Amino acid sequence: MVPSPCCGEKLKIIGSKERKLIKDCGERLTLIVRRMRCSQCYKIHHELPDCIVPYKRYESSCVEQAITKTKNLEVAVPAHESTLHRWRSWFHAQSAYWLGCLTSIAIRYLEDPVERPSNASQSVHHTLGHVVGDAPGWLATIVRSVANENLWVHTRSAFLSD
Ligand SMILES: [Zn+2]
C-alpha cells in the first residue's frame, strides 16, 4: 500500500480511468490509471505509471528523445516536427521549476540537498542531468518525483493537440 503524497495516510481506490499512450514504435496502448482518495483529507490522486508524462499521449521516452536530440532526423519518434518543437519548448519552460521541486523534495526527505555545479553558466538541462543522471528514463524519474509530491504543473491547454 502506497501512502498518500499529501498526508502519508492510506489511499482508498475509488475508480479508474483510461489513458491513451503512443509507444516509441507508434503502437497505441490504453492504460488503466487508478483514482485514489486520501483517507485523511479526501484529496484525489491518480496513480501515475512511470512511462507517462502527465497529459501527454506519448510515452515519456519519446519526449525524452526529442528533448535530448536537437536534430529532428535523429529522433525515432512517430511525431510531427511541430510536436517535437513543442516538447522542447515545454521542457525548457518547465526545467527550472522541476529543478526547484527536486531540490525541495531532497531537503524535505533530509537527503543531501542537490549540489549546484559551481559554473553558473551551465544550462538548467545540464544541472538537471547532474541531479537525475542522463541514463534513459531520466525524464520519467523527474516526472515521478514531481508528480508524487503533487507539484506537477498541468500545462494541458498548451498541449491539447498532443
Ligand atoms: Zn491527504
Q: For residue range 114-158, what is the model confidence (pLDDT) as tens digits?
A: 555 555 555 666 677 777 777 778 888 888 777 777 676 655 433
Cα(150) to centroid(ligand 1), Å? 11
Cα(88) to centroid(ligand 1), Å? 34
Residue 114: inside a domain, yes or no?
yes
Domains held by the chain: number: 1
Residue 94: inside a domain, yes or no?
yes
Cα(3) to centroid(ligand 1), Å? 9
pLDDT attached to residue 40 = 92
Q: What are the strands of the beta sheet with 28-38, ordered from one edge? A: 11-22, 28-38, 44-46
Lowest mean pLDDT, pick from 4-13, 85-94, 136-145, 151-160: 151-160
The whole-angstrom separation of Cα 30 and Cα 102 is 30
Residue 2: inside a domain, yes or no?
no
pLDDT attached to residue 41 = 93
Residue 162: inside a domain, yes or no?
no
Cβ within 8 Å of residue 99, ≥6 positions away: 114, 124, 127, 128, 131
Cα(57) to centroid(ligand 1), Å? 28
Residue 4: inside a domain, yes or no?
no
Residue 5: inside a domain, yes or no?
no
- Which residues have CB atoms below 5 A from the ion given as ligand 1? 4, 6-7, 38, 40-41, 43
- Residue 79 belongs to domain spanning: 11-148
